[in-house]
Amino acid sequence: MAARDIYHDTVKRALENDGWKITHDPLKLKLGRKEMYVDLGAEQLLAAEKSGRKIAVEVKSFVGASQLHELEEALGQFVLYHDVLNEVEPKRELYIAISHKVYADLFEEPLGQLLLKNNRAQLIVFDPRKETIVKWIP
């Protein structure tokens, strides 16, 4: 299992502050003999339903030497986890959690806008200081 991202606990608290119940930390996925771990699994119960919306969240800090390299790795993980989730738990939605600064640096630029336009990832944008969710980008 990989080491936790520096914002792991921050995102966990931000999700809880937003009304989500953390159900898995980490969320284990298995397909055949291969196992992988998404950082968090969460569920939001809706008052009118017995079962609610379920998500999986991969937390990314983008603190390495190259944001572009980290973006490439994050998108690769997203594609892999997305496809496995579609097989083993198709009702669970996958998101990448990034700070509002990373969102501004990467996704308010033409490259990030292109990725969002082409639905390459779903994002949760959070404020690490306030431990809040700033926006959801499905």
Q: What angle do CA 5, 10, 13 make, to 5 degrees?
A: 135
What predicted TM-score, i.e. pTM, was given to this entire model? Answer: 0.93
The first and second tokens of residue 128, run together, are 């690490």
pLDDT at 40 over 80: yes
pLDDT at 2 over 80: no
pLDDT at 82 over 70: yes
Tell me the pLDDT tens digit for each residue of 9-34: 999 999 999 999 999 999 999 999 99
DSSP per-residue letters across 84-122: HHHHH-TTEEEEEEEEHHHIIIIITSHHHHHHHHTT---
Residue 17: strand, helix, or coil: helix
Find the DSSP H helices in 23-107: 67-88, 100-102
Structural domains of the chain ordered from first start: 8-137 (3.40.1350.10)
Please tell me what DSSP assigns to residue 11: H
- Residue 7: predicted pLDDT: 98
Please tell me what DSSP assigns to residue 20: P
Q: Which helix (H) or strand (E) holds 46?
A: none
Q: Average pLDDT for residues 126-137, to the nearest whole number?
A: 98
Please tell me what DSSP assigns to residue 8: H
Tell me the pLDDT tens digit for each residue of 41-81: 999 976 555 568 999 999 999 999 999 999 999 999 999 99
- Residue 1: predicted pLDDT: 62
**Rounded percentage of the chain residues whose pLDDT exceeds 90:** 91
Residue 3's pLDDT band (cuts 50, 70, 90): confident
